[in-house]
Chain A
Amino acid sequence: MGGKRKNREEEENNEIVEEEREVSANKKREILPSLIKNKQKRSAVHAKLKHEKKKEKKKKSKAREAAERRALELGEEPPPKPVPRTIENTREADETVCRPDDEELFAGNDADEFSSILKREATPKILITTCRFNSSRGPAFIKELLSVIPNAHYYKRGTYDLKKIVEYASKKEFTSLIVVHTNRREPDSLLIVGLPNGPTAHFKLSKLVLRKDIKNHGNPTTHMPELVLTNFTTRLGHRIGRMIQALFPQDPNFRGRRVVTFHNQRDFIFFRHHRYIFESKESKKEAKGKNTNDGEGETILKGNVTARLQECGPRFTLKLISVQHGTFDTKGGEYEWVHKSEMDTSRRRFFL
């Protein structure tokens, strides 16, 4: 109050200064709702604040819309759309991100363990096995994996050591080994071993939804699937991407219209399995409405093709835990990358 009285005194001297001071005084008087101890008052203040914020937001968006409309009417270029700030696009700068003009990268690719498969010199042959105790959702998941990955063979784990299995599989000329680990009858981790001397990747597996739990799911055919790998940007991500790529044959059968997707987002790899179809339903109606000449209707029909997706097969999420140099060896193995807690100091740092 004292401040206000002072302001009044100074009113005659300088109006601008007075205004500024009043603003600052207002700011000082403004109390954060979290500081109020009475709950009723606090919630009232909070609601008021929220309402004001909402109003302002609406006002802003209306102004933006109006500007856009005006620009449209006048035939000018609309104002540029503001890009929302997300965690992905404010990602920490990473020097390991692969660049397309990097010759060393391609030379490294040519020399790595998967190059023979990716150059179609060898066909991938996958051995799938489990941990020792396996029941309920584990076998069901493996059944679906077998339908996703062509040329995959399931072998019972028995009581064999994993190292022995690796030895056996490389002798039988398998190119990769997948081990599904279950915990409490729920698949919870995935181990992919490149054979005979490829790297070993250990993934955490979560959010598993089996085929029968997906609404309106389709049933996959035996055609070779197409593979979509997105967002594997860094050197490590590139390597993981190539490792996943080497699980699938490199000659997709496009008639099968079957897509397997590995989508990386914030270091989580989302697996989806779809069937797609190109349909032209909506344009057909237009053609019917016109009716006058069928030839034109048909051309429209071809022009307005829409793609539809039908999900089939399992749906799960992978998160990389470690990449080991060489085949499975927990004791003396060398890691190419291990996730350590000291790396998690920023939400905006990603490794894949």
Chain B
Amino acid sequence: MPRTIAVDCPGCPPIRAITFDELGLIKVIESRSNTASSSTPKIVDKWGEPDATRCILSASINDRKSHPLLALARKNGHIELINPLNGEIRASTIVEDCLEDPIIGLHLFRKEQEELSSMSCRLLTCTTKGKAALRTVEVSNRPTDSVWDDSPRTWNVCASGDILCSSVDGSENYALFGGKGVELNLWDLEKCTKTWTAKSPPKNNLGIFTPSWFTAATFLSKDDHHKIAAGTNNHQVRLYDISAQRRPVISFDFRESAIKAVSADLDGHTIYVGTGSGDLASVDIRTGKLLGCFLGKCSGSIRSIVRHPELPVIISCGLDRYLRFWNVETRQLLSAVFLKQHLTKVVIDSNFSIEETDRAAVDPPSDDTRVNQNEVEEDDASPPVKRKKSSKEGQQHKKLKFKKKNKKTVEEDDSS
């Protein structure tokens, strides 16, 4: 018998991830499993037509329980707000001179503002040339009805150089920008003022000065905007502490190729680092010690790493066209999905729970999609009760009944 080594992937806990690629396609990957056992994730949905000019550059999700929204910026200047449950476009706009100056950073604010109504949301966009803008949108049911404010608050983040990375902290009061020839700088979003700039490290012992070139940056913890982890093009990972000094507190080298993605863990001291040649590792940033690498035949540049807010899982994607699920603790590859295109970004829909998969098991699959649509349509009109955790049994029963009713109505519709 030929010896074939089966790649043992233990499978994932229930998870829902949305990926974006260079052809402008949005793919929804779900791992549906019952209770504790895990399963292999699959592509459940694909939205959009393949078109290279609609390449998605950046995306951000607001995964609140009711009316979740997903914002994405395309290469041709479109900024779209879509519903991450069914992919329908809720609002869209076009930004001018997008070809020379594409949008590189996008953040959809999670915090709801008192003065604004519940159906409006705020967006922070940043282009490569440093034009940052805060936009507000009144989202309505149809994309044509949504209103974008005419004069977004804009300011210039940098005078020269290219912005390559941006990040917004957990309290959403501060934003971080950095790039090629641009030192890391921190902006107060309320007043639109620069509060802090990093200082480039001194010349090395040979007297050689390396110009700053940040390729990835993130805030270290959710409730603290003082600590920033950043990766540079000459494979350095740095920790900045705003309250301490302008130069990096810790700086160390990681492998040989540029750092392309940095993502913080929930515990506030572990970060995940992805490089341009497909190395993924977790590092304790307090000491700069490498905790371990994620091994699993990852052969292409890593573009995006996301940590799941509850489960010990990170998801990485990149130019090798694979979406990979990793266990954080064992650093084991849980599963890999081949998605055919160069992936640019991945986000996690954290409210996804088994409840939905249960429904899938109850209903025949053909009905399922219809029920889904129906439900969503109803939801748009009715007060937002949508996806709740399956923690309480009573609720689940109610939900199931509700769904059965739904199903019946659908069938009636069909028969009539």
Interface residues of A (CB under 8 A from B): 85, 90, 92, 95-96, 102-105, 107-108, 110-111, 235, 325, 331-340, 342-343, 345-346, 348
Cβ B23 vs Cβ A108 within 8 A: yes
B295 close to A (CB within 8 Å)? yes
Which one, B133-141, B297-305, B308-316, is touching chain A? B297-305
Within 8 Å by CB of A336, from B25, B260, B300, lies B300
Closest to A343 in B: B297
| Per-position 1/0 for B251-270, Cβ under 8 A of A | 00000011010000000000
Cβ A85 vs Cβ B2 within 8 A: yes
18 sample A-B contacts, Cβ–Cβ < 8 Å, listed by A number: A85-B2, A95-B338, A96-B338, A102-B340, A104-B341, A108-B50, A332-B215, A332-B233, A332-B234, A333-B257, A335-B277, A336-B319, A337-B299, A337-B320, A340-B278, A340-B299, A343-B297, A346-B4
A242 to chain B, nearest CB (A): 15
Cβ A108 vs Cβ B301 within 8 A: no
B387 close to A (CB within 8 Å)? no
Cβ B5 vs Cβ A345 within 8 A: yes
B114 close to A (CB within 8 Å)? no
B51 close to A (CB within 8 Å)? yes
Question: Considering the complex, which residues of chain B in the window 321-344 have a beta carbon less than 8 Å from any beta carbon of chain A?
Answer: 321, 338, 340-342
B276 close to A (CB within 8 Å)? yes
B182 to chain A, nearest CB (A): 15
B3 to chain A, nearest CB (A): 8
Closest to A86 in B: B2
Within 8 Å by CB of A335, from B215, B278, B297, lies B278
Most buried by B among A92, A95, A103, A107: A107
Cβ A337 vs Cβ B340 within 8 A: no
Q: Using A325-B301, A340-B297 as known contacts, say yes or no to A332 and B342 having CB atoms under 8 A apart.
A: no
In the complex, A105→B354 CA distance in Å? 33
* 9 A-B pairs with the lowest CB-CB distances in the bound complex, closest first: A111-B52, A107-B50, A334-B301, A90-B2, A332-B233, A332-B258, A334-B276, A336-B319, A95-B338
In the complex, A245→B199 CA distance in Å? 48
B128 to chain A, nearest CB (A): 15
Contacts of B174 in A (CB 8 A): none
B177 close to A (CB within 8 Å)? no
B213 close to A (CB within 8 Å)? yes
Cβ B342 vs Cβ A336 within 8 A: yes
In the complex, A107→B340 CA distance in Å? 11
Within 8 Å by CB of B319, from A325, A332, A345, lies A325
Contacts of A104 in B (CB 8 A): 23, 25, 50, 340-341
Contacts of A102 in B (CB 8 A): 340
In the complex, A346→B297 CA distance in Å? 12
Contacts of B320 in A (CB 8 A): 336-337
Closest to B298 in A: A340
Within 8 Å by CB of B23, from A111, A235, A334, lies A111
Closest to B303 in A: A334
A68 to chain B, nearest CB (A): 27
Most buried by A among B50, B260, B338: B50
Closest to B337 in A: A95
Cβ B2 vs Cβ A334 within 8 A: no
Cβ A336 vs Cβ B2 within 8 A: no
New contact pairs (18) apart from A107-B50, A325-B301, A346-B4, CB-CB < 8 Å: A85-B2, A90-B2, A95-B338, A325-B319, A331-B257, A331-B258, A332-B234, A332-B258, A333-B258, A334-B300, A334-B301, A336-B301, A336-B319, A337-B300, A337-B320, A338-B299, A340-B297, A343-B297
Within 8 Å by CB of B277, from A95, A105, A338, lies A338
In the complex, A111→B53 CA distance in Å? 9
Cβ B50 vs Cβ A235 within 8 A: no
Contacts of B234 in A (CB 8 A): 331-332
Most buried by A among B22, B25, B321: B321
Q: Using A104-B25, A340-B299 as known contacts, say yes or no to A334 and B51 having CB atoms under 8 A apart.
A: no
B102 to chain A, nearest CB (A): 14
Contacts of A335 in B (CB 8 A): 257, 276-278, 299-301, 319
| Per-position 1/0 for B19-41, Cβ under 8 A of A | 00011010000000000000000
Q: Using A104-B25, A337-B320, A342-B295 as known contacts, say yes or no to A348 and B276 having CB atoms under 8 A apart.
A: no
In the complex, A3→B319 CA distance in Å? 66
Q: Using A335-B300, A336-B300 as known contacts, say yes or no to A92 and B4 having CB atoms under 8 A apart.
A: yes
B165 to chain A, nearest CB (A): 13
B111 to chain A, nearest CB (A): 34
In the complex, A162→B374 CA distance in Å? 59
A261 to chain B, nearest CB (A): 27
In the complex, A90→B51 CA distance in Å? 37
In the complex, A90→B4 CA distance in Å? 8
A103 to chain B, nearest CB (A): 8
A320 to chain B, nearest CB (A): 11
A163 to chain B, nearest CB (A): 15
Closest to B259 in A: A332
Contacts of B341 in A (CB 8 A): 104, 108
Most buried by B among A111, A340, A342: A111
| Per-position 1/0 for B205-224, Cβ under 8 A of A | 00000000101000000000
Closest to A323 in B: B300
Contacts of A348 in B (CB 8 A): 2-4
Contacts of A90 in B (CB 8 A): 2, 4
B163 to chain A, nearest CB (A): 16
Contacts of B50 in A (CB 8 A): 103-104, 107-108, 111
Closest to A346 in B: B5
Cβ A342 vs Cβ B4 within 8 A: no
Closest to A340 in B: B299
In the complex, A346→B4 CA distance in Å? 7
